Amino acid sequence: MRPPLLPRVARLRVAALAVVALLAACTITPPSSLRSVLTIPSVIRSGTLDQYRVEVAHRVAERNPSGMLHGTPQAMLRSLVVVAFTVDGSGRVINASVYRSNGDSEAEALALASLRRSAPLPAPPSRLLDGNGRLELMEGWLFNDDGHFQLQSTASAQAQSID
């Protein structure tokens, strides 16, 4: 004769609850090699990269005073040119190219020329360098209609209306 169905279901529920309770009490401890990677806050790493980008923007402004836009960028920018570039451990620009643009070749040329005039850039912190001793980054050049620009890392808030 079969045992009654209700006690069998009740026993299964109790067993399932016991397993869940045991699993909930368990903690998973990652290996020590992985733990050191997990404890480095990404905010610190990105903050350092952001700080370096600001240093680069200041150098570009320093070396290109006549091209810099002082004040608020206009609401409808003439162009936003994103330049991808690689810097070595001493701040030397290894390569640079236009990553994104609206096709304004004059603004693209001005952005690349202003970066070249700013070289060498400040030496990046060694912890930001890749295995080849280089750092790849991008920066945006915001151009007003008159050809003056600000770098995105240090740009003033853009105007909200077209006047």
pTM of the model: 0.69
Q: What integer pLDDT is reported at residue 34 of this predicted model?
A: 44
The domain total for the chain is 1
Q: Map residue 10 onto helix, strand or coil.
A: helix
Is position 23 within any domain? no
Q: Map residue 7 onto helix, strand or coil.
A: helix
Is position 116 within any domain? yes
Is position 35 within any domain? no
pLDDT tens digit string along 115-137?
999 999 999 999 999 999 999 99
CATH of the domain at 129: 3.30.1150.10
Where residue 28 falls among pLDDT bands split at 50, 70, 90? low
Helices and strands, counts by H and E, the chain? 4, 4
What gap in Å lies between CA 161 and CA 120, rounded to an integer? Answer: 38
| 92 in Cβ contact with 98 (< 8 Å) | no
Is position 10 within any domain? no
Is position 63 within any domain? yes
Q: What integer pLDDT is reported at residue 44 of this predicted model?
A: 42
Q: What integer pLDDT is reported at residue 1 of this predicted model?
A: 60
pLDDT tens digit string along 52-77?
999 999 999 999 999 999 989 999 99
Domain range for residue 98? 48-157
Q: What integer pLDDT is reported at residue 47 of this predicted model?
A: 53
User: In this model, does residue 32 exceed pLDDT 80?
Assistant: no
| 148 in Cβ contact with 77 (< 8 Å) | no
User: In this model, does residue 17 exceed pLDDT 80?
Assistant: no
Is position 83 within any domain? yes
What gap in Å lies between CA 122 and CA 55, rounded to an integer? Answer: 7
Q: What integer pLDDT is reported at residue 79 of this predicted model?
A: 96
User: In this model, does residue 22 exceed pLDDT 80?
Assistant: no
Is position 21 within any domain? no
Q: What integer pLDDT is reported at residue 13 of this predicted model?
A: 72
Q: What integer pLDDT is reported at residue 37 of this predicted model?
A: 43
- Measured in whole angstroms, the distance separating CA 61 from the mean position of its chain's CA atoms is 21
| 45 in Cβ contact with 125 (< 8 Å) | no
Is position 27 within any domain? no
